[in-house]
């Protein structure tokens, strides 16, 4: 559970990195400007540092593109080098550098927590191997997520890499939450009657929220492009310059609100205290999420709202997935063993 909370915190920190434009605060990975502890002054860097680190990024991307090309992803490999962000030089900014550096430190902390999670899951190999394998696969995915983070940096925040980065974070959260509930499943089994229609709705709202978050990531990328084109100024004009993704994302939230309200109504009819508490939290999160979205749309996208909007969206996804898993275990029906009567 501590690892799950830490992942959510990392998502919040990642949102702060995006909203402050600090994604390229460290132009290399895993080090930052060639050092494990980043510089505090541009005088600590060589005069040609812009060309040096751009060259290192391009060289790394050449290797990645070559691998993708050989693996049959020719268009993706070509897109890496056709995107203009590839050749943008990143000037040193001490604030942005340290924001990105803190983001990486939190990522290291996640790695430690997930490793401890795997160790604590070892005893389950005797009783429920799935719990151990879920933890172990999460550990592998966190490592892959770290590598993907290096690709995000080397490609100078290539949109596709950011979307995959976000989607994988949600997958990791879901796997860890499932492992937690499964480890405590014996205490919640057989307390509810299974309803396939209600279960299908739980699956639906979880998937819909997942898609909405991914779509929101696309909108965020559009905002980055607009912000770059306007040199970070005139924030009140950004919304008007966004494309179709924004309007779909905004309109889709109405459907999500209606769907979740209906599901919450059905949960209240079940009259289970735990599910009711989960439903209340889900609706509070959804309400705040919509409020934050409205504030961003009509009040010039306040920077503080961007990471909060993202983090709350992932928390909403996590709560919906928690409801889904909890319900399935709470309504678990064991097959009764036949009673053998002997004289």
- pLDDT given at position 337: 42
Contact 148, 161 (CB under 8 A): yes
- pLDDT given at position 9: 92
pTM: 0.85
Q: CB neighbours (10 Å) of residue 53?
A: 22
Q: For the chain, which residues score pLDDT lower than 50?
A: 334-343
DSSP secondary structure of 21-54: T-TTSSSSSSSBTTBSS--SSGGGS-TTHHHHHH
Pick from 88, 89, 95, 90: nearest CA to 39: 95
For residue 1, what are its two tokens?
Answer: 């559970």
Contact 285, 308 (CB under 8 A): no
- pLDDT given at position 233: 83
């Amino acid at each position: 559970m501590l690892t799950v909370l830490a992942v959510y915190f990392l998502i919040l920190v990642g949102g702060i990195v995006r909203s402050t434009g600090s994604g390229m605060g460290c132009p290399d990975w895993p080090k930052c400007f060639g050092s494990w502890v980043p510089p505090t002054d541009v005088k600590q860097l060589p005069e040609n540092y812009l060309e040096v680190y751009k060259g290192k990024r391009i060289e790394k991307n050449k290797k990645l593109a070559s691998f993708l090309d050989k693996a049959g992803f020719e268009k993706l490999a070509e897109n890496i080098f056709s995107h203009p962000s590839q050749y943008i030089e990143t000037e040193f900014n001490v604030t942005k550098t340290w924001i990105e550096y803190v983001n990486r430190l939190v990522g290291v902390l996640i790695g430690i927590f997930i490793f401890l999670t795997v160790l604590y899951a070892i005893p389950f190999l005797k009783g429920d191997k799935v719990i151990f394998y879920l933890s172990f696969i999460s550990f592998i995915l966190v490592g892959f997520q770290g590598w993907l983070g290096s690709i995000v940096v080397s490609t100078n925040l290539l949109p596709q890499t950011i979307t995959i980065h976000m989607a994988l974070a949600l997958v990791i959260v879901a796997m860890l939450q499932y492992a937690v509930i499964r480890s405590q499943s014996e205490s919640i089994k057989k307390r509810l009657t299974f309803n396939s229609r209600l279960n299908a709705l739980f699956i639906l709202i979880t998937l819909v929220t997942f898609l909405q978050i991914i779509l929101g990531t696309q909108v965020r990328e559009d905002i980055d492009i607009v912000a770059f084109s306007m040199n970070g100024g005139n924030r009140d004009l950004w919304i008007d310059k966004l494309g179709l993704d924004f309007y779909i994302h905004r309109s889709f939230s109405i459907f999500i609100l209606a769907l979740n309200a209906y599901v919450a109504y059905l949960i209240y009819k079940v009259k289970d205290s735990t599910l009711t508490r989960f439903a209340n939290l889900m609706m509070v999160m959804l309400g705040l999420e919509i409020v934050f979205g409205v504030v961003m749309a009509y009040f010039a996208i306040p920077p503080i709202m961007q990471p909060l909007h993202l983090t709350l969206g992932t928390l909403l996804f996590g709560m919906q997935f928690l409801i889904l898993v909890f319900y399935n275990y709470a309504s678990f029906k064991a097959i009764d063993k036949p009673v053998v009567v002997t004289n």
